[in-house]
Structure 1
Amino acid sequence: METDKVLFVDDDENLLRGVRRTMRGKFNLSIAVGGEQALKTLAEDGPFAVCIADMRMPGMTGVELLETISKKYPETVGIMLTGNADQATAIEAINRGSIFRFFNKPCDDAMLESGIRAALRQYQLITAERNLIEQSLAGSIKVLTDVLAQLNPTIFGRAMRVKQWCDQIAAAIEYPQPWELGLAALLCPIGMVSLPPDLLSRMSGDKPLQPLERDIVKRTPEVAAKLIANIPRLEHVAEIVGMQNRNFDGTGFPEKGPTGVEIPLGARVLRILNALAERARGDTLVTHNFDELLYHKNRYDLDLLTQLRSLLAVVDTVYDETIYPDGQELTITLKELRVGDYLLTDLETQEDRILLTHGNFISEVQLQRLRIFERLHKFREPIEVRRGGRTLRRGTDVSKAREARETEHAGIEGTQPHTDPAPHAHEPKA
């Protein structure tokens, strides 16, 4: 949202009153006494086009204030005023605070007015470029991804959901350029256009891929990054898309690059949201979608994951023991199966091979094994489970706990993806 508001910050209240009198009628001016009050004013009454700050203020210097503003409100143009005219102070202010102009105190009123008007024009240029990108470029890209979504709804339709989630969380995580994150989300799967149609079709149907095919798919972010890098002003978007599959611990793709928080924030966000999009049904994320990501903690920024969970996850009352003291019987797909679910039907493939029989609780190990087999086999769906409840969740019955452990040992634990997954795997459906 564009604005013409100007914020003047100083620790001298008499000076601030004088500035307000001098500039009355010339600018939409607000004042703040010190850095802390300035940040509060920015948060409550922003956005502001220009911020003029005194260099020497107790608590928070003008350099520190404008440096913070440049990170949280990157479009706000900064002007520095100081009675200390030494060169070192000016260089520090310009380098650290993204300063547009630097004036010595006392500053001639006409010169200060001219500087503020120049800063307002600079703000208009910044916002005009942002509007051009957001409205023109983003609109064009959305048309492109809409068309691709019609050709392959599963893959490209997922990008639309991720874009919606990015729009929801960008402000809360203080993402400096939200439009970049949104475009990166839309363009994440653009590298898929390089894949053969039959491979795309198999991916859409969740069919298992051969090792060479998996390697080709793994490299699609590299293709996407090269395509996006050709578009002016989207170099950072290209970097985010290129690192969307790089894990927090440095594994994944690309094989070389930054690790941990050195990975661009946008790439860390997409690493989480893309994984959630594969697990979610529709646009709504529930708590267990986030819980499943914890099976692979090395892949994600866990602090960021916790933050996104608080912003996006809808509480699933099925796990509320007060509302459902005896649990609830549900008809679900295999993707919705969770740790602690009690099977009311057998888990079996479409080839009539039983993996787990009804009457078993799902353990964490079993669920991880099932996720592997799900990539290699088609299961009969839907399945029926009982979920929640004090007895089922806490396992106070010793015999049931022992039975669950024995089932886990005799069931799918310890099997390999390319072998029969359970002792009953050779038995046809009863």
Structure 2
Amino acid sequence: MNESATGPNQAGESQAISAKLLLVDDEDNILRSLKRVLRKEPYELVTAGSGDEALTLMEDQRFDLVISDARMPGMDGPTLLANIRKRFPWCIRILLTGYADINSTVSAINEGQIYRYISKPWDDDELRLILRQALAFQQSERRRLALEKLTRKQNRELKELNATLEEKVRDRTAELKETADMLDLAYQELRQSYVTTTEVFSSLIDKRLPANRQPNAKVIALVKAFADYHKLDEELSRNLTMAAALYNLGKLSWPDELFTAPSDLLSKDQRLEYMKYPMAGEQLLMALEPLRDTAKIIRHHQEKWNGYGVPDRLEGKDIPLGSRILRLAVDFIELQYGLILERRVPRDNAIKLIKRYRDRLYDPEVADQFLEMVIEVAPDIEHEDPDVLVLDTLRLKPGMVLARNLYAASGMLLLNEGKVLTSILIDKLAAFEKGEPDGHRYTLYVHRPEEDTETTP
């Protein structure tokens, strides 16, 4: 079964071919579905019904990307992709698999060093997006390799120049600097493509959870806000962002009831399985060299400052800094989503819990920095209404109208929803706030004034 098709554009005319793809599956209906999804994309599509047929086609034709099913008679998907990696390393490899095929997926990652795996049933838009990003990654890698080859060639030519040819040396040095700048730009594009890819992949992880309990995007936003607020170095910020996107990766093989249960209510056997997920996530990423540091952050993000965490019972500053930051972000978001305790914990109570455990679960210094950032800039995860502003007392203005009740740290109601703020009320709130214990600060939800088009929460 060797079928080739070129996707037409919406007007019915053929587009310029941007890539050649090989689709491998022993089921005709899967191949037809893939061709249907990609019919409008600028790809030349070739199909094969087995691993042996796919390898025969690749001997005669050059393919940019291969999508293979995991389970096929004879040669399975991971074996096929491992063979392609050895014989045709330039070809992007993607595995099509089901949730139950975790062993095949791990094998494909470790042996075939696949770019991505896609779970069946797939989302058509996500599949098209993944393929576009994979081919963009491939183009970036090809440019990088070409620039490296050019740099090596120019270095050889530079060594052959006579020391007396100073003018030529200066000219060549200028050319090399321009090439090095281009190479740096290519590396930056490649690093950014990894960050973007991990964030897209995190949306697939979220598919295992209900729509109102998907923490990854919020955890990513929170660590980015922390990195910006405290001006972390670029490499740590990048690795921390990717770790935030993939910290749940080790949970993909879990049954649904374990995936959605609050960690505080797990049975003994479930807790043993739960404690393995940081290591499982690390193992899935270790084959990818650019994600080694990210994998280390994920492995240790459930360690505790007092040394009673998992998996290695690290204590204090033996825990990597990125892992200490990620633990705070994960706990802050998952407490509010009801993924740690049986009930959802309001934002202000989540802040109090972090304060209470700042020298047992968390690095006290980093916890203080985290809470400073949360109070100053981090939004309430439950706040989704664009017509409501989230403000502290310093940004209140007379005439604003409360959208929610305001409570003191003691739980006493201070102001009712619908209350119109006056200068006197704002001054009183500021005075009350100064008298609150532990430096508690008020968070007020107010309706956005009609004329206010620039203020942001």
**Could you say which structure has the larger radius of gyration?**
1
Q: TM-score, normalized by length of structure 1?
A: 0.45
